Amino acid sequence: MPGHAPEPLGVAVIGAGYWGPNLVRNFQGSASFRLRWLCDLDVARARKVLGGYSTVEATDDYARVLADPDVAAVAIATPAATHKPLALAALEAGKHVLIEKPLAATYADGKILVEQAERRGLTLMCDHTYCYTPAVTKIRELIHEGALGELHFFDSVRINLGLVQRDVDVLWDLAPHDLSILDSVLPEGVQPEAVAAHGADPIGAGRACVAYLTLRLTGGAIAHVHVNWLSPTKVRTTMIGGSKRTLVWDDLNPAQRVAVFDRGVDLAGAAEIGAEARREMQVSYRSGDMTAPALVEREALGAMVEEYATAIRTGRRPLTDGRAGLRVLDVLEAASRSLEFQGAVVGLKGWETAK
């Protein structure tokens, strides 16, 4: 009947470790879902997350969760090495799947999951949470409407003290956030073509604890990502420069997260002259106003959960679908190969083919 709200979708969260409790909280707070199970190898930990008065069932039996006909979807928050088998089992059971970043441990595994989901007509979504923040939503809007002009550079810094991971290096731990944001905001026709990565392990952890990625983008633009587990201070900034304006996002500044500067470099008539003549031209500097767009504060994870529900109900691709996760894996694997060869430039498999 008109105006009648659809029945909540039954969902199960797999993994009660670091990220699982956040998913539990947001699924429980959503009118679009009904949380039915929390599955973890440590049932006591799962019960502790749920609390003593919860009606949600805790179990360590994944097969039991997948056999429940009232479970339409699962959300997987387990180590990356387990993503492929857990997600594949869910897809084969006819369940929609949400996976914590990264999509899988390898590009090949991620591709299998994407192909399986598409063949079965099921939603496969990657939890690239930052893409659902009000700041990134506004940044994507500004870039896509041409407010910054032609993209010149993307520069991000994500550094803090710890946590040094035991199973992955700093690239695989932190860079997926920035790479997923880059994927989300890039304008049509612009994509990474190749990557070079440099890393260091000054504390002897056995893996890179500090790393720098440089990505060549189509059209001559450049993207740079700095990730670091060893910084005594926490920094979360992204600067995106265009031919018209430059945007600065400081995620740790709640009073002014996003600022847009009408300041930059102008080279009058540069497009109409040759490279040699351009070198001889006088550079002029533009110094205009700074504006701070108003942002509606909301929890990004809650917005991500609602995107998952909408994608399941309508059958459309979610903003951070499996192919978005695959594009991030493409860069991560290329960056790892670059590290092995002391910063050699490594080509990507092709983001167009992953779209």
Q: Please tell me the predicted confidence (pLDDT) of residue 232.
A: 96
Express each pLDDT in 58-67 by its tens digit: 999 999 999 9
Encode pLDDT of 210-244 as tens digits: 999 999 999 899 999 999 999 999 999 999 999 99
Question: Would you state the pLDDT for residue 236?
Answer: 97
pLDDT at position 162 is 82
The class of domain 9-129+301-321 in CATH terms is: alpha beta
What is the per-residue pLDDT for 179?
A: 98
Domain regions of the chain by residue span: 9-129+301-321, 131-299+330-347
Q: What is the pLDDT of residue 1?
A: 47
Taking only the tens of pLDDT, the chain with its 355 residues reads 455 678 999 999 999 999 999 999 999 999 999 999 999 999 999 999 999 878 999 999 999 999 999 999 999 999 999 999 999 999 999 999 999 999 999 999 999 999 999 999 999 999 999 999 999 999 999 999 999 999 999 999 999 998 888 889 999 999 999 999 999 999 989 999 999 999 999 999 999 999 999 999 998 999 999 999 999 999 999 999 999 999 999 999 988 999 999 976 666 655 555 556 555 566 666 677 889 998 988 899 999 999 999 999 999 999 999 999 999 999 999 999 999 999 999 999 865 444 5
What does pTM read for this prediction?
0.91
| Residue 2: per-residue pLDDT | 53
Three-class SS string for the chain? CCCCCCCCEEEEEECCCCCHHHHHHHHHCCCCEEEEEEECCCHHHHHHHHCCCCCCEEECCHHHHHCCCCCCEEEECCCHHHHHHHHHHHHHCCCEEEEECCCCCCHHHHHHHHHHHHHHCCCEEEECHHHHCHHHHHHHHHHHCCCCCCEEEEEEEEEEECCCCCCCCHHHHHHHHHHHHHHHHCCCCCCEEEEEEEEECCCCCCCCCEEEEEEEEHHHCEEEEEEECEEEEEEEEEEEEECCCEEEEECCCCCCCEEEEEEEEECCCHHHCCHHHHHHCCCEEEEEEEECCCCCCCCHHHHHHHHHHHHHHHCCCCCCEHHHHHHHHHHHHHHHHHHHCCCCCEECCCCCCCC
pLDDT computed for residue 54 by the predictor: 86
The pLDDT of residue 107: 96
CATH for the 131-299+330-347 domain, from 1.10.443.10, 3.20.20.150, 3.30.360.10, 3.40.50.80 = 3.30.360.10
